[in-house]
Structure 1
Amino acid sequence: MTKFLLAVHVIAAIVAVGPVTVAASMFPPAARRALAAPDDERALATTRLLHRICQVYAVVGVAVPVFGFATASDMGVLGDTWLIVSIALTALAAVVLGALVLPRQSALVEGTGDRRTTVRLAMFTGIFNLLWATVTVLMIVRPGSTTGA
């Protein structure tokens, strides 16, 4: 059962977190292009699409920690420090995405944001991506694990 849960957890991470990190990273430059050319429908459509991808995959991404908890429970590692740190960083990444990235994307798509908004959005997106990269490294290295590298 552990292998199945781990496989679903990893697949969910690839399928859900991958697209949101890429789309979120692509959004600030696309928004800058849309702001620079307000009559460019294609630029606006691109920002709308990237924002929609981020919203949908953020919801789908809930499967990652759900299957992560199930896997960790099955492996008996819920109390391990590397996992607790990973859980905290995952929660922080979710907060950054939900409270800082998505609302700024919405403001830009709705036309209430400006170039300064894109700069802050790029910073928050970078923080979000860095948090996920750190969690990924912790999942691979698993400090103190008897089965880790």
Structure 2
Amino acid sequence: MTKFLLSVHVLAAIIAIGPVTVAASMFPPAARRALAAPDDHRATGTVALLHRICQVYATFGVVVPVFGLATGSAMGVLGDTWLITSIVLTVLAAAVLMALVLPRQSTLAEGRGSRETTVQLAMFTGVFNLLWATVTVLMIVRPGSTTGA
């Protein structure tokens, strides 16, 4: 059962979190192009599409920590420092996405933002991506693990 849970956890992370990080990273420059040319329907359409990708995959991304906790429980590592740190960073990443990234994307997708909004969004997106990269490294290295590098 542990192998199944771990497989679903890893696949969900790749399928859900990957698109969010890529689309979120592409959003600020696309929004700047749309702000520079508000009559360019292709630019505004790209912004709307990237925002929708982030929303949908962020919703699906809930599967990642659910199966991560189930896997950790099955492996008996829920009390390990690396996993607790990963859980805290995952909660922070989710909070950054929900409270700071998606609302600014919505503002820009609705045509109400400014260049300053895109700068803030780029910064928060970078923080979100850095948090997920750190969680990924912790999941691979697992400090103190007998199977870690």
TM-score w.r.t. structure 1 length? 0.99
**Shift of residue 74 of structure 1?**
0.1
Percent identical across equivalent pairs? 82
Give the residue type in structure 2 aligned to 1:58.
A
Equivalent residue number for residue 17 of structure 1: 17
**Shift of residue 8 of structure 1?**
0.4
Equivalent residue number for residue 103 of structure 2: 103
**Shift of residue 147 of structure 1?**
2.2
Q: How many residue pairs were aligned?
A: 149
**Shift of residue 131 of structure 1?**
0.2
Moved over 3 A (4+): none
Equivalent residue number for residue 122 of structure 1: 122
| Structure 1 segment 35-74 matched on structure 2, within 5 A | 35-74=35-74
Q: Hey, what's the Cα distance between the residues in 2 that align with 1:25 and 1:147?
A: 33
TM-score w.r.t. structure 2 length? 0.99
Give the residue type in structure 1 aligned to 2:51.
H
Q: Hey, what's the Cα distance between the residues in 1 that align with 2:60 and 2:33?
A: 28
Equivalent residue number for residue 76 of structure 1: 76
Give the residue type in structure 1 aligned to 2:108.
L
Gaps of 5+ in 1: none
Equivalent residue number for residue 89 of structure 1: 89
Q: Hey, what's the Cα distance between the residues in 2 that align with 1:14 and 1:111?
A: 31
Q: Hey, what's the Cα distance between the residues in 2 that align with 1:111 and 1:46?
A: 13
Task: Report SS of the residue matched to 1:38.
Answer: coil
Q: Hey, what's the Cα distance between the residues in 2 that align with 1:119 and 1:148?
A: 38
Deviations 1:28-60 (A, max 9, x none): 000000000010000000000000000000000
Q: Hey, what's the Cα distance between the residues in 2 that align with 1:19 and 1:110?
A: 22
Give the residue type in structure 2 aligned to 1:96.
V
Is residue 148 from structure 1 mapped to residue 148 from structure 2 by the alignment? Answer: yes
Q: Hey, what's the Cα distance between the residues in 1 that align with 2:147 and 2:2?
A: 14
Q: Hey, what's the Cα distance between the residues in 2 that align with 1:76 and 1:148?
A: 16
State the superposition RMSD in angstroms.
Answer: 0.4
